[in-house]
Chains A and B, each alone.
Chain A
Amino acid sequence: MTVNITLIVLMAAFFAAGIYLLLERSLTRVLLGLILLGNGANILILATSGPGGTSPLYIAGTPPEEYTDSLPQALILTAIVITFAVTAFMLGIIYRSWVLGREDDVQDDPEDRRVADQDSYDYEDDADIIADTTEFSEAEDPSAADADADRAGRTEGPR
């Protein structure tokens, strides 16, 4: 099977531009990048399906090889409609992000930064425990604060 240069170049351009926009911070550009990627993928499917031909509308007597491949077309049709739904959804997100934060940007997640910056000291693991030789000291007050309960030794007598 020979390769159609025009379609391949077109596909590569779609992908390259789509990735370029996808890596942007502006949400609108990210969305446009997604649309371009979608178009590129559709071209990819179309190109690999072989050369064009008669549209797959059945006419009795036509040899089956003369029709263009109908399966990739069904796949692309599905993809087009799904891309529409995703685009509309993303538009909703962009609007919402604008309303809430006046931002049209992909934000960094501060929670992840906090994880990276956290201290290796962990109270549960590293705090000192004072030996405790009874179970019946402050069992009277289960709401006693953690640290108090941990640190208070034997303070009271029997119940």
Chain B
Amino acid sequence: MLTVLIVMFAGALVAPALFARLGRSAFFVLAAAPAGGFVWLLVQLPAVLRSDQEALDGASGAPPSLTVPWIPSLQLELAFRLDALAAVLCILILGVGALVLFYCARYFKSDDPDVGAFGAQLLAFAASMFGLVLADDLILMFIFWELTTILSYLLIGYSRHRLSARRSALQALIITTFGGLAMLVGLVMIGQTAGTYRVSEILASSADLVSRGTIIDVAIALVLVGAITKSALVPFHFWLPGAMAAPTPVSAYLHAAAMVKAGVFLVARFAPGFGETAFWYPLILVLGMTTMLLGGWRALRQHDLKLVLAYGTVSQLGFLVMVVGLGGQDGALAGLGLVLAHGFFKATLFLVVGIIDHQSGTRDLRVLSGVGSTSPALFAVALVAAGSMAGVPPLLGFVAKESVLEAFVHRAEDGVVGTLLLGGIVLGSVLTFAYSARFVWGAFALKHGVPRTDFTRVRTSFLLAPAVLAVASVLFGVWPLPLDAVIQPYASLFPVGGDTAHLALWHGFNLPLLLSVVTIAAGTALYLVRGPFERLQGRLPSARDAEVVYRSTIGVLDDVAVGVTGRTQRGSLAFYLFVILTTAVLTPLTALIVFDAPMPEGFRIADSPAQVVAATAILVGIVAALRATKRFMAVLMVGITGYGMAIIYALHGAPDLALTQMLVETIVLVAFVLALRSLPARLWNRSESRHRLLRAGLGIAFGGIMAVIAMSAMASRNAAPISIAYPGMAYDDGGGANAVNVLLVDIRAWDTLGEITVLAIAATGIASLIFVRGRGDKRRRADGVEDGSVDRGQEPLDAGGRAGAARALAVRFADVSRDPWLVAGRTLAAERRSIIFEVITRLLFHTIIVLSVYLLIAGHNLPGGGFAGGLTAGLALAIRYLAGGRFELAEASPVSAGTLLGAGLAIVTLTAIGPLFLGGAVLESYILEFWLPVFGDVKFVTSTIFDIGVYIIVVGLVLDVLRSLGSEIDERAESDDPVAEDTGSDALVPPATEVEGARP
């Protein structure tokens, strides 16, 4: 059975390609898949019917089954089981499915661009239905259930240019998904209570489960909600008439034969065993009866043939659910008989309507006239199907309805409820007869005063599918024995009350037969007075339509959604932060109060007087930063706090931190100056004072709560730090005396690996923000650059006085021919050059680089390491750039920043995975000891290679910052157009006119 399923889904996958090649004839190929499945089903049928329906898998005599493990940890299995109930449904799914696909080949046009996707969806739908009825696992069943929902959405919305199709598709999706979710909850409740999700096992232990009481009652009610929405019962019935916006073959298959039967199937699946739960009969019988009468009533006043059928289907679905849910051997037999009969005749009628629409261009029964005499074959087919629907002997519909009546006659003997039900069913059947007759009249009669409809001849192949189904209605009406044999095994699951019931054309003269005669007579009478009856319906005040309720519900949901979104998503960052931070203050505060947080035993002012001094300096810096009105003043004050931090670290016994903080602070200052030089000097403050107070309050509250949290955290500490042993471990296992560095490159190297990846990403981010297109990694040499051309002309050249004299001096210095101190110093405009700075740079650059390498290598045992070393090298580059301009920086960095970042990451990654090849763990380090000339005995730890990668990445990061915020911004400022490199949408802003601040 897995093969059949897979073939059908695979067919759906290749369908679009088939349609591209074969046009609409591809439907013939697709039809072969369910047709083949149907043959397979017939072959399996004897074994299925012989088997013991209640036997579990593996037991002797169990129905054919198949189990493939899927997600064992979640107890999910691909469990399939072909029992008699599944087989009955498969007859419809595969048989009608094949015929409908066959029919599609004449219904659609080859040049329809969407037909390929349509064919695929229809076949996939058939496959999902097939999987749904075979599934022996609750979750698997739910998955197929939802697959049919989604595919039905796509199929209903086939003509997506029509608003009606889009809206109906969405409406059907929302309703059936709602029901599906309720069902999922119910299924999970059942599965958890039963301890298994296997359907057959759950049914086998149903008596035990039902005795658990409420939880199973509620679970079954939730499952029934799924069935009710899917099978379009009141109050969810309105989606089905809406879904008539689908192409007619879809209506024939989904909304008559297959999908709406899924709900009926679910009821039938749980009826043996769970039919006695608390909510079963109230839901099934009340809603079923209401639906049956309401659908029949509405069907009598529709003018669109398809809507007549749609409301008829609603009515019949109510009927079906009621009979199938009734329980008892006779009820089950009648129910499944009716399911088959309905599948045959309703699909036929839909297909007939499709042909009428296709040939005449309308489905309006007020416009159609004389079709019966123009196309007698079509008329005959429709007459048979409608007769079956109305319950006219000797058709299958009659046979099924007879056994239904018989079952309800038995119930009527038991009491008032049974009598009421019987009366309701007879009334519903009268309505059914009347709308069946009205359908035939509306579609085929030659009407007085209506011109005869143009009707092109129907091709035999087009008529074939409905004709086959009509023949089935006749054949099994006259000879119901095979169907009885197919259904009987399922019916035998129920207790037999009295004689065993059978499907038969002739039961003798009895009450059901009399009721049938009454039905036909009353139905004929109702048909004859259809005109006055329709007018009467129009005059009666109609109850509030369920669809209106649905739409106002959705409308309210929309309003609430917009309201909530509007309140919370204000688009203001400050507002969001305010909400988040307030929560961040209040939540810990509540926790501290409620849980009586521990408070420290003692306080000390400070660890040393120097700490107080440093802290005071920092506090002054903070206050000054808050009050600063000039941009660079604020930056500088924040810088002071940073340097203060370095002192705090140093006093605390953390030389590595002090060193790194110092270096970072310096480079950050450079970066700030470079990036913000084109922005105005003033930092204006636009927020109102009310806001400022609020911000201050929130800030103080946040600071306060952090202080309390910190103290409470320190007071809660009762275990020794895990890092007590780190210095020893670092020395013995990591081969380095500097525990912090060994932590970074060895013990917690994973953290560092993540961190430097972030650094590489940030560097690339900066480059892309400034260069916009690409990283701008192409190297530029100073060779072709004219002397003194860079950064020229920012000030008036003819300025007199001191400025003029200074410039004249500078030009003379620049002209002196001698060896340049810097490679590209000559490219800088004369007034920009500083001899002292150039000389100092020349003297210091290499020294700093050597220092950085020293920090890198020595870092394993002394303060330093890859981060500090890389930052030092970056500072050296910054000095070159500041002294010699952008070409000097380019000359100083023979390798592009991108290459550095890539190389660093590669080195680090290789160091990480290298030990794997030596049989070690990721990031494991080795200590090598050997002798080198000059150096003597050398102890080399492989984690140093990791540190080298870190060093290279940090250099790459600093280089990217200098290149982007420095060189590139210079170049744009000089070309007097900060967006010179950009095109299109970027160039919305006039070029910068004021350029203030520092300049290299």
Contact = CB atoms under 8 A, between A and B. Distances in A.
Interface of A: 1-26, 28-29, 32, 35-36, 39-40, 42-44, 46-60, 62, 64-65, 67-74, 76-78, 80-89, 91-96, 98-102, 104-106, 108-113, 115-118, 120, 122-127, 129, 131-137, 139, 142, 144, 146-147, 149-150, 154, 156-159
Contacts of A70: 723, 726-727, 730, 739-740, 743
Nearest to B986: A100
B706 A55 contact: no
Contact of B652 (A46, A84, A100): A46
Interface residues of B, number: 155
A117 to B, nearest CB: 7
Interface in B901-956: 954
A99 B739 contact: no
A102 to B, nearest CB: 6
A67 B578 CA distance: 41
B782 interface: no
Nearest to A109: B571
A77 B740 contact: yes
A77 B744 contact: yes
Contact of B606 (A4, A36, A86, A127): A4
B726 A71 contact: yes
B51 interface: no
Contacts of A72: 723
9 contacts: A16-B700, A20-B699, A39-B642, A39-B645, A57-B655, A67-B653, A67-B727, A144-B161, A154-B364
A88 B707 contact: no
A2 B604 contact: yes
Given A95-B965, A120-B559, A125-B167, A54 B699 contact: no
Interface string B680-705: 10011111000000011011101110
A117 B571 CA distance: 12
A60 B602 CA distance: 33
Contacts of A7: 606, 611, 615, 648
Interface in B559-598: 559, 562, 565-567, 569-574, 577-578, 581
B687 A120 contact: no
Nearest to A23: B695
A97 B113 CA distance: 46
A105 B574 CA distance: 11
A29 to B, nearest CB: 7
A154 B453 CA distance: 14
Nearest to B356: A134
Contacts of A74: 740, 743-744, 748, 751
A16 B699 CA distance: 4
Contacts of B615: 6-7, 9-10
B565 A116 contact: yes
Interface stretch (B34-42, B194-202, B756-764): B756-764
Interface in B102-120: 109, 112-113
Given A36-B638, A88-B671, A125-B554, A19 B163 contact: no
Given A88-B671, A116-B565, A77 B555 contact: no
Contacts of A85: 758-759, 762-763, 957
Interface stretch (B2-10, B661-669, B819-827, B886-894): B661-669
B625 A28 contact: no
A17 B652 contact: no
Contact of B728 (A42, A58, A105, A108): A58
Contact of B577 (A22, A69, A94, A136): A22
A108 B574 CA distance: 9
B164 interface: yes
Interface string B810-830: 000000000000000000000
Contacts of A137: 361
